[in-house]
Chain A
Amino acid sequence: MLRTFSIIGNPNSGKTTVFNALTGLKQKVGNYPGVTVEKKEGKFILPNGDVANLVDLPGTYSLTAFSPDEKIATDVLLNHINSSSKFEAILCVVDASNIERNLFLLSQIIDLNIPCVVVLNMVDVALKSGITIDEDKLSKQLGVPVVKTIAQSKLGIDKLKETLQNHIFPSKNLRKWKIDSVLQKEHSEISQILQKNNLDESSAFHEATQLLSMPTEELLIHPWLTVDLIKIIRKKHEKLDFLEIDRGSAFINSRYDWIKLVCDISVKKKFTEIKNLSDKVDRILTHKFFGFIFFFGIMTFMFQIMFSWVTIPMNWINLFFNFLGTEISKILPSGQIESLVVDGIIGGVGAVISFLPQIVFLFLFLGILEDSGYMARAAFIMDKVMSKVGLHGKSFIPLLSSFACAIPGIMATRTIENEKDRITTMMIAPLMSCSARIPVYTLMIGAFIPNNSIFGIISLPALILVSLYMLGLLAALVFGFIFKKTLLKGATPLFLIELPQYKMPSLRTLFQIMWERSIIFLKRAGTFILAVSIVLWFLASYPKIENANPSEQLEKSFAGKIGKFIEPSIAPLGFDWKIGIGLVTSILQREVFVSTMGTIYNIEDDSNSSLGEKMRTEINQQTGKPSFSILTAICLLVYYVLAMQCLSTIAVMKRETNGWKWPAIQFSYMTLLAYFVTFLVYRIGVLI
């Protein structure tokens, strides 16, 4: 029989790491709160060979749900009680370095009478902070099994499996915290009424607690309360408010009184130098001035490396594809098949694959920042800027994810409670420069921006790249402000973020990130981009024109005609018809622009020069001047920072907002913004 367990815990308690350690899966983990926003499932094998199913729930601080992701966890637990698909027990992951707050959630789970095992995770981090926990005493106090783990190193996982296999979970209620005596009577009465309404004892206890704590006006919007019940509860609210009892915090305080008793017996704390050092480092990294300096400094450093060391493996890949093209030309008979393979496939796919080192490096660097705990500090310092535009730092975490890709960024907005704030964040997330823009940025900067250095330290290409990222961020802030003042009006919420402990990034996690990203990138180059390159080669090579030179052939081809057709609309931006072809094809995905240029420039020019060199040295037949200037390159970069060129993002926006309204507004405003800003840059550039 398939046994089912579920896993829950506070955000950033290492819950997903425990899930991965048990199941051997590779769900994304991060050293900042809010990585798991969906319910995920995996399987693992118990020591006796039984297969067990494990459901990973989004992190939550309590079972009083506010945001969509927390609601998933609460719904699953509450439905569990009456659902047919029951799980045997719940694994409650507790961050040992932050035990008091983590036990709050556990106390609510115990209230619901759900059998559970406490996974006391990150005991190494706790020890470094001077916290030692006696697991036997803790287990005795809580009344549930406690297993110590360091999930990142898979320590304690075998013992956890043994416990799950052998422990017989009692059905009796283990609740030990006491409700304040004044509240007790009112609570029991409501609880009894709820039990008469077909709720079992534990669910009725949980609901009665919620109903007594909530603001009176929220009773009216409660999904299932009857008018009579609302009247009864309202009277109790009035009575308790008259007695000046803080209903909102009374239950919380009672729980914490019990938690304190538990911790006094089982937890020992001593002051350590490390905690002190971490606080000192935080004083600089979260400083309102030095924090920003560090943030921009580290970004510049990252891009500096991207244009120096990382270009070395990139050149090797270019040399390899040139060699491959030359050798294949020798084998294949001259004609259309040779042109398809060499110009279409190798030219297009090779142009994109040569940017693999940049992509891998970007993810390595973001992985280090994330895993070390710095990303949460970045969100903290950005809160001040975000609050100026009416958003809070919680919105910055999805925006940070969007540096990798807008899709997980948009999904990460599920941690935002307020619907208007959530939509605003989704609307601006694609303005953050994602990894698909890297090939376009690197191609244009590498080909057209001179490799000079400023103050002898910062290279000009790196500075331009930082500016592009900042332009995206600035546009996101401006449009966040506009949305919050117009379509999505609302108050600026307060922001609370837990700053995780600093830690050495795990090499295993970093390698895993780089490996996965390489596979994803290569898979896409070998499937989608390959198919686009083949179709584009066809469009750029047919219909065949007798006795035409390669340039004339391209101009009169289907692709040439499409480019010529849209040329009048993009000419004000300084773009010609060849760029036009790239703009049209890259609506599918941004890096398709690079493969498009690779294919059409290979058809025209079969020399062994790199794509960047071909673009730089190309002469316009009509004007006799270079087709591309630095200004054209900058305009193209600005266009790609701001334009919405991603079909997948549009699809995910439709899913997350349940309709076409917001994706349509997003596509329109971003395209118009890209067009007008690029137009302005071009006009100003021409005048200078």
Chain B
Amino acid sequence: MDLQDLIVSIIVLMALVYLIYSYRNKKNNSGCDNCDVKK
């Protein structure tokens, strides 16, 4: 694995963590990013 692969792996991992966090948040809040309605 070269340096470029390592950097992109870290970025992809961060994106994955964000997606999981945002999914959990959605499940708890049932808020919508698409509109201004929140719980």
Q: Do A and B come from one complex?
A: yes
Which residues of A pack against B, CB within 8 Å?
28, 333, 335-337, 340, 404-405, 407-408, 411, 434-436, 516, 520, 523-524, 527-528, 530-532, 534-535, 537-538, 589, 647-648, 651-652, 654-655
Q: Which of B18, B23, B39 has the most CB of A within 10 A?
A: B18
Offer 22 A-B interface pairs, CB within 8 angstroms, sorted by A: A336-B5, A336-B7, A336-B8, A337-B4, A405-B37, A408-B35, A411-B37, A520-B33, A527-B18, A528-B19, A528-B22, A531-B19, A532-B15, A534-B12, A534-B15, A535-B12, A535-B15, A648-B26, A651-B27, A651-B30, A654-B30, A655-B30
B19 to chain A, nearest CB (A): 5
B20 to chain A, nearest CB (A): 10
A267 to B10, CA, bound (A): 71
Which residues of B pack against A, CB within 8 Å?
4-5, 7-8, 11-12, 15-16, 18-19, 22-23, 26-27, 30-37, 39
B24 to chain A, nearest CB (A): 11
B10 to chain A, nearest CB (A): 11
Main secondary structure of the interface of B (DSSP, over half): helix
A335 to B2, CA, bound (A): 11
A654 to B32, CA, bound (A): 14
A448 to B15, CA, bound (A): 33
Contact of B37 among A408, A530, A537, A654 (CB under 8 A): A408
A435 to B34, CA, bound (A): 8
A648 to B25, CA, bound (A): 11
Complex contacts, B16 vs chain A, CB 8 Å? 531, 535
Residue of B nearest to A332 (CB): B4
Which 9 pairs, one residue from A and one from B, show the smallest C-beta to C-beta distance? A407-B32, A534-B15, A531-B15, A405-B35, A538-B12, A655-B30, A336-B4, A651-B30, A405-B34
Main secondary structure of the interface of A (DSSP, over half): helix
Contact A531 B22 (CB under 8 A): yes
Complex contacts, B8 vs chain A, CB 8 Å? 336-337, 340, 538
A422 to chain B, nearest CB (A): 17
A340 to B13, CA, bound (A): 13
Contact A436 B26 (CB under 8 A): no
Contact of B34 among A411, A434, A651 (CB under 8 A): A434
B33 to chain A, nearest CB (A): 5
A528 to B33, CA, bound (A): 9
Contact A520 B36 (CB under 8 A): yes
Known: A411-B37, A527-B22, A530-B15. A337 touches B7 (CB 8 A): yes
A336 to B22, CA, bound (A): 26
Complex contacts, A647 vs chain B, CB 8 Å? 23, 26
Complex contacts, A335 vs chain B, CB 8 Å? 4
Residue of A nearest to B7 (CB): A337
A286 to chain B, nearest CB (A): 29
Residue of A nearest to B11 (CB): A534
Q: Which of B4, B5, B31 has the most CB of A within 10 A?
A: B4
Complex contacts, A407 vs chain B, CB 8 Å? 32, 34-35, 37
A28 to B33, CA, bound (A): 15
A99 to B33, CA, bound (A): 39
A326 to B32, CA, bound (A): 35
A405 to B34, CA, bound (A): 7
Residue of B nearest to A513 (CB): B36
Complex contacts, B23 vs chain A, CB 8 Å? 647
A535 to B19, CA, bound (A): 9
With A337-B7, A407-B32, A589-B33 given, name 4 new contacts (CB 8 A): A516-B36, A531-B22, A535-B19, A648-B33
